[in-house]
Amino acid sequence: MKIILQDNRRYVLRFDKGDEVVSGIFKFMQEQQITACTFSGIGSALEVEFGYYNQHLKQYRKKPYVEEMEVVSLIGNGSIMEGKPAVHMHGIIGRLDFTLLGGHIFKLVTLATCEIFLIKLEGNLERKNNPEWNLNLLI
């Protein structure tokens, strides 16, 4: 991951081939001591692990895809949970046959590039597990 451009609270990040984006944003938040942010992104991916939250089972159903894909849109936020960064990302991914996949993203491995536009927010966003849903919600 490389910082392409930054000012006092906005960053343009570039992830290269083989870089994992979710853990990369986590590491970036740690290094920059970011406790609240929002981000969006575009690019390409070789591997994506999606999750769909089953409200009846109160757990995610995960499904990996390993193929060349276009990152049509990523959106998410960064917060703190139990003193560590928490990255919450959703996305829409295009396949070679022009169909789309979407949902919560647990893992995204870059194919050629992934460009993330991140804005650091003032203050803190914090997450805590909500036992009713078994989800880590903003508090």
Counting beta carbons within 10 angstroms of the beta carbon of residue 48, is it exposed (0 to 12), middle (13 to 18) or buried (19 or more)?
Answer: buried
2-138: which CATH topology? 60s Ribosomal Protein L30; Chain: A; (3.30.1330)
The pLDDT assigned to 73 comes to 99
pTM: 0.96
Q: Which contacts qualify for 18-24: CB closer than 8 Å, 24 or more apart?
A: 18/46, 18/109, 18/110, 19/109, 19/110, 19/114, 20/107, 20/108, 20/109, 20/110, 21/74, 21/89, 21/108, 21/109, 21/110, 21/114, 21/116, 22/87, 22/89, 22/105, 22/106, 22/107, 22/108, 23/107
| pLDDT at residue 65, rounded to an integer | 99
Q: Where in the chain are the domains? A: 2-138
All residue ranges of the chain with pLDDT < 50 are: none
